[in-house]
Amino acid sequence: GAVVSQHPSWVICKSGTSVKIECRSLDFQATTMFWYRQFPKQSLMLMATSNEGSKATYEQGVEKDKFLINHASLTLSTLTVTSAHPEDSSFYICSANGGSYEQYFGPGTRLTVT
Amino acid sequence: GDSVTQMEGPVTLSEEAFLTINCTYTATGYPSLFWYVQYPGEGLQLLLKATKADDKGSNKGFEATYRKETTSFHLEKGSVQVSDSAVYFCALRGQGGSEKLVFGKGTKLTVNP
């Protein structure tokens, strides 16, 4: 089946630094990828939709200058959390559209900002 | 806007017990409905789906029926196994070809031997 990977699976960074999370579709090409944020005991909240070769579309309330998304190829999208603060600590999940509108999800990245 | 409400967990059952996880939705028109499962340490996987009213999605012994009149998509399984322990998410995709998914909060299921 379609596999999506994320790297790293867990990252700790200091407040004020930036951290990059990668999302890769391993065995298929994805023109569209999605980035979600999940708080403990909360649902997944869509942050942005990433289309290969174009700017990401951010959901209302998501700071595009803080959460930089790049979808440079059909198999890779990256999320960079810039100038991270403790309130950015969360679980970030990506998914990739494998066709027929079915989304395949990565295992998630836990970000802890100290 | 569109929203999904699913029963709060956690749910703890003994092996071979009957499972129901309630899910209701709010959306205009006829959304597509999904159940995803997340096993420990893994990404969400599509468990089953239904795209129109009265459709029944089924997979691995799990079933859910798209009920337009009650705006519900409850997940059921007649006899759960320890291996079913996971977090279950109900989700919808709005009518009109949108790719966006709206998720419920998830329900953690633990099945004891």
Per-residue pLDDT of chain A (114 residues; tens, 9 = 90+): 688 999 999 999 999 999 999 999 998 998 899 999 988 777 889 999 998 888 899 999 999 999 999 988 899 999 999 999 999 999 999 999 877 667 899 999 999 999
Q: Is B48:B59 a contact under the CB 8 Å cutoff?
A: yes
Q: How far is A36 from chain B (nearest CA, A)?
A: 10
Helices (H), A37-77: none
* B103 Cβ contact partners less than 8 Å away, ≥ 6 residues apart: A43, A44, B4, B36, B89, B90, B91
Torsion region of B97: left, alpha or beta (phi above 0 gives left; psi -120 to 50 gives alpha): left
Is A103 close to B101, i.e. CB distance below 8 A? yes
Q: Rounded to whole angstroms, how far apart are CA atoms B69 and B12? A: 30
Is A107 close to B101, i.e. CB distance below 8 A? no
